[in-house]
Amino acid sequence: MPRRILITGNWKMHGLRSDLGFFEALTPIAAKAGAEVLVCPPASLLAAAAAQCAGTEIRIGGQDCHTGQSGAHTGDVSAMMLRDAGASHVILGHSERRQEHGETSILVCAKAKAARVAGLIPIICVGETLTEREAGRAHEIVGAQLKASLPADAGAGVVIAYEPVWAIGTGLTAAAEDVASMHAFIRSQLREPAATRILYGGSVKPENAAELLALEDVDGALVGGASLQIDSFAAIVVAAKQ
């Protein structure tokens, strides 16, 4: 079966209840999309967003989860809680989590296992820094992250998101040939390469979405800043049909 394009919006630490109108505006666009549409709002909005999107083609995801189902972990959210609130997916190992919270690939793997137990689809992020790329170590770094972050039995039950760290929120985008090369490399490392979706992230915007999504091994996008405004996110969703 062909891999269906997945367009994912990561709102990061943005969004208030007054922003929930975004989903009403997105509903008719998602209904006509040639892609699967997923939005990951902050945890404070997850249940409200899921309720608003019930019965639509919009899926809702979390931005992180704990390794445990419950416990004395003040401030953390478990995968079971995300599922209970209406999530279908969860982003794990984003570079901002790895950098700001010291998350290791071993921890990401444990979170991915917890997510799968809860019935969530993990979106596991990997990516190199500019220093690592300039040193010719991009494939080495991403390969090591993949090996340590993916549960051994993950198969096609996960999504991979390649986000070069130097392109996140900077306005810079990796050249198409570099994206194609990295995605082909990632696919070569997967247990079920033909069935596993690999997303590209890193300053994806309406102006470059069509070119990126047309690349052979790019199965969608993980969109940051451009997912906060309905016009720009809708344009990226529409680009998936072209």
The number of C-alpha atoms within 13 Å of 92 and in the hemisphere containing its C-beta is: 36
The number of CA neighbours under 13 Å toward the Cβ of 242 is 12
Domain CATH number, residue 209: 3.20.20.70
pLDDT of residue 124 exceeding 90, the answer is: yes
Specify the pLDDT at position 84: 98
Q: For tokens 């269906």, what's the residue? A: 4
Q: Does the pLDDT value for residue 242 go beyond 70?
A: no
Decide if pLDDT at 121 tops 80. Answer: yes
The pLDDT tens digits of the residues spanning 64-118 come to: 999 999 999 999 999 999 999 999 999 999 999 999 999 999 999 999 999 999 9
Confidence of residue 174 (pLDDT cuts 50, 70, 90): confident
Check if 73 is active-site: no
Range of the domain at 121: 6-69+89-226
Burial grade of 230 (CB within 10 A; 0-12, 13-18, 19 or more): middle
- The answer to the question of residue 143 being in a domain is yes
Residue 107 domain-assigned? yes
Task: Examine residue 74 and state whether it is found in any structural domain, yes or no.
Answer: no
For residue 242, tell me if it sits in a domain. no
> Is 66 annotated in the active site?
no
Which member of 66, 89, 94, 183 is catalytic?
94
Helix (H, G, I), strand (E, B) or coil at 159: strand
Q: What are the backbone dihedrals phi and psi of residue 147, each rounded to the nearest 5 degrees, phi first?
A: -60, -40
> Does 237 map to a domain?
no
In a domain, 49, yes or no: yes
Active-site entry in 36, 96, 103, 163: 163
Q: Residue 229: pLDDT above 80?
A: yes
At 185-228, the pLDDT tens digits run: 999 999 999 999 999 998 899 999 999 999 999 999 999 999 99
Task: Give the confidence band of 153 by pLDDT, cuts at 50, 70, 90.
Answer: confident
Across the chain, what does the average pLDDT equal? Answer: 96
Domain count for the chain = 1
Q: In percent, how much of the chain has pLDDT > 70?
A: 99
What's the whole-model pTM score?
A: 0.97
pLDDT band at residue 1 under the 50/70/90 scheme: low
Inside any domain, residue 234: no
- Cβ(95)–Cβ(63) under 8 Å? no
Q: Is residue 76 part of a domain?
A: no
